[in-house]
Amino acid sequence: MEHVIDRVLLDETALQAKVQELGERITRDYEGKDLLVVGILKGSLLFMADLLRAIRIPLEIDFMALSSYGSGASTSGEVRILKDLDQSIENRHVLVVEDVIDTGLTLNYLMDNLKSRGAASVKVCTILDKPERRRVAMTVDYNGFTIPDEFVVGYGLDYAQQYRHLPFVAVLKREVYGG
Ligand code: 5GP
Ligand code: MG
Ligand code: MG
């Protein structure tokens, strides 16, 4: 893998330490509440699996898959639900787990959609945040790392469906994108 990686932004140790910290905060905040953790496929997969193990209260999990109508790299804000929740979230406390918040358009749509279903609360936990690119104002309830406006891969994030399995977050070499 070394031949395609320009530099590692967040190594495994940093990621795991942050995930433990987030898990402890979530454990405290949701103590005694009916918690449903919703992972957004596929990018949240690695973060979700690590985060769940760091939460020390009863919970249930579910997944959603979303697709943006935007062409290429730009997000349009129009979102299609490819896989919906298996259950009603009425009166439940929903915690959405994301890989990265970039423009915020995807999550903005999702939060409105989930709130309209009568959840007791809807919050978000993301491992990465790129606030420089934000196009809609939004509250990030739990954030792992604020990163600069650069395209990153690893720890669930892909480039052309590759590199999701890397246990660290990295920037790829320019020539990888060139083809
Ligand atoms: P947005 O917040 O712009 O609506 O979109 C967020 C989605 O865009 C993420 O869930 C992810 O799929 C994709 N994305 C945004 N920034 C990056 C990045 O740096 N690397 C990768 N691999 N995907 C990104
Ligand atoms: Mg995502
Ligand atoms: Mg992607």
Angle between helices 45-53 and 12-30 (to 10 degrees): 60
Residue whose tokens read 């491992």: 127
User: Under a CB-based contact definition with an 8 Å cutoff, are residues 176 and 162 in contact?
Assistant: no
Is a pLDDT exceeding 90 seen at residue 70?
A: no
Element (H, E) at 39: strand 35-41
Q: Tell me which residues have their CB within 5 A of the ion that is ligand 3.
A: 158
> What confidence score (pLDDT) does residue 174 get?
86
E-state strands within 70-139: 79-83, 93-101, 121-129
The CA 169 to ligand 3 mean position distance, Å, reads 14
Q: Which numbered ligand comes closest to the C-alpha of 104? A: 1
For residue 78, pLDDT over 90 is answered with no
Candidates 6, 102, 141, 158; catalytic one: 102
149 assigned to active site: no
Q: Which two tokens stand for residue 14?
A: 């940093």
What the chain holds in terms of domains, given with CATH numbers, is 5-178 (3.40.50.2020)
Distances from the Cα of 39 to the Cα of 49, 53, 150, 175, 179, angstroms: 9, 14, 23, 32, 31
Q: Which of 102, 105, 128, 168 is the pocket-test mutation for ligand 1 (most atoms within 8 Å of CB)? A: 102
pLDDT band at 179; cut points 50, 70, 90: low
Give the CA distances from residue 80 to residues 40, 69, 70, 109, in Å, rounded to whole numbers and listed in that order: 13, 7, 11, 10
Contacts of 158 (CB under 8 A, 6+ apart): 42, 43, 164
Atom of ligand 1 nearest to the CA of 130: 16
Say which residue, 129 or 3, is predicted with more confidence.
Answer: 129
Encode pLDDT of 102-153 as tens digits.
999 999 999 999 999 999 999 999 999 999 999 999 999 999 999 999 999 9
DSSP 19: H
Q: What is the pLDDT of residues 31-41, one digit of tens each?
A: 999 999 999 99
Contacts of 40 (CB under 8 A, 6+ apart): 63, 64, 65, 66, 96, 97, 98, 99, 110
Question: What contacts 83, CB < 8 A, 6 or more positions away?
Answer: 41, 63, 64, 65
pLDDT computed for residue 105 by the predictor: 94
Q: What is the pLDDT of residues 17-60, one digit of tens each?
A: 999 999 999 999 999 999 999 999 999 999 999 999 999 999 99
